[in-house]
Amino acid sequence: MSASGARTLRDVGLRVVGTLATAILLALLALPIAALVLHVPPARLIARMGDPAVLEALRLSLVTSLAATLAVVALGLPLAWLLATRRFPGRRLLEVIVDLPMVLPPTVAGLALLLALGRAGLAGHVLAAFGITLPFTTAAVVVAQIFMAAPFFIAPVRAGLAAVEPRYLDAAATLRADETYRFLHVTLPLSLPSVVAGVAMCCARALGEFGATITFAGNLPGVTQTMPLAVYMAFQTDLEAAVTLAVLLLVFSAALLLGLRLAPSWVRIDAHRNH
């Protein structure tokens, strides 16, 4: 009651519970990853990585996730800006639509994409009239990835853009900077860390996309069989191949997330240097 730093029994209890909870969750998160990495000896792992089938899946995964990420940035930046800076009727609804893929089971997303963009789908039959059919093509893989990964870009970018202090923009405005100038030279540099975060999250999510891809795009090596699909198919016949692919995918995803943890500091330094 007297000293401010007195530690009650209750505090100790809370600490124990907190430590235990953290340990349990960490174990649950780390154990499967450890099991995966430890399953195949490193030498075998490296030997199998040169397998043409592995490289084919890896190449397809990298190309499609990169394409999906570029598309999401190009199409998502204006939307994120709109949601961050403008108040208009239906904004909440728009936010829900944008966020929905994050919580939607991917197979549901795949089914929805088929019914929308499939050959007999809502918009798909219009495309078909122009001779464009999406399902079973590499483009369908990219579309599935865009659908699933876009919210992972828009959410942090929207928050980043909204956090830019209006007084900077006002200051720029008093110097007769037009809106384009203010966006390019004030808003964007200031929110660059969140844009980088959004790009990394979006790319990682696209890289890991499985359910929507196999449902909407199908499964054909070299065309639609990305790394996660290759892992799934390999698991059914060749566990070692599945683990090799899985570890490779893990390395890329972890590198992206680690890069994200390191990137904002550089980005901030750069942003300061430029201005």
Partner 1 sequence: MKRMSAVLAFLFAAALAATSLSASKPKPAEGTTLTVFAAASLTEPFTELGRMLESSHPGLTVRFNFAGSQQLAAQIDQNADADLFASADEHWMSFLVDHGKIEGEPRVFAHNELVVIVPKSNPARIQTLPEISKRGVKVVLGSPSTPIGIYSRGVLQRMGALGLDYPSNFAERVLANVVSEEDNVKSVVTKVQIAEADAGIVYRSDVTDPVARVVRVFQIPPKAQVVANYPIAPLKSSIHGQEARAFLNLLASKEGRAVIERYHMTVPEPDKH
Nearer to partner 1, 32 or 179 (CB): 32
Near partner 1 by CB under 8 A, which window of 13-21, 57-65, 144-152, 198-206? Answer: 13-21
Judged by CB under 8 A, does residue 26 bind partner 1?
yes
Judged by CB under 8 A, does residue 220 bind partner 1?
yes
Judged by CB under 8 A, does residue 139 bind partner 1?
no
Judged by CB under 8 A, does residue 114 bind partner 1?
yes
Among 14, 239, 258, 269, binds partner 1 (CB under 8 A): 239
Burial 230-239 (b: 16+ CB within 10 A, else e): bbbbbeeeee
Judged by CB under 8 A, does residue 3 bind partner 1?
no
CA 268/CA 263 separation, integer angstroms: 9
Near partner 1 by CB under 8 A, which window of 151-159, 177-185, 218-226, 261-269? Answer: 218-226
Nearer to partner 1, 161 or 246 (CB): 246
Contacts of 231 (CB under 8 A, 6+ apart): 242, 245, 246, 249
Near partner 1 by CB under 8 A, which window of 67-75, 100-108, 150-158, 227-235? Answer: 227-235
The type of residue at 246 is A
Burial class (CB in 10 A: 0-12, 13-18, 19+), 14: exposed
Nearer to partner 1, 187 or 244 (CB): 244
Nearer to partner 1, 2 or 236 (CB): 236
Judged by CB under 8 A, does residue 250 bind partner 1?
no
Q: How many CA atoms lie within 13 A of 60 on its CB side?
A: 28
Among 36, 51, 67, 136, binds partner 1 (CB under 8 A): 136
67: nearest Cα among 117, 139, 132: 139
Q: How many CA atoms lie within 13 A of 212 on its CB side?
A: 28
**What is the secondary structure of 184-247 as a DSSP string?**
IIIIHHHTHHHHHHHHHHHHHHHHH--HHHHHHT---TTTT--HHHHHHHHHTT-HHHHHHHHH
CA 65/CA 203 separation, integer angstroms: 6
Among 235, 253, 264, 268, binds partner 1 (CB under 8 A): 235
Where do contacts with partner 1 occur on this chain (CB under 8 A)? 16, 19-20, 23-24, 26-28, 31, 114, 118-120, 135-136, 214, 218-221, 223-224, 232-233, 235-237, 239
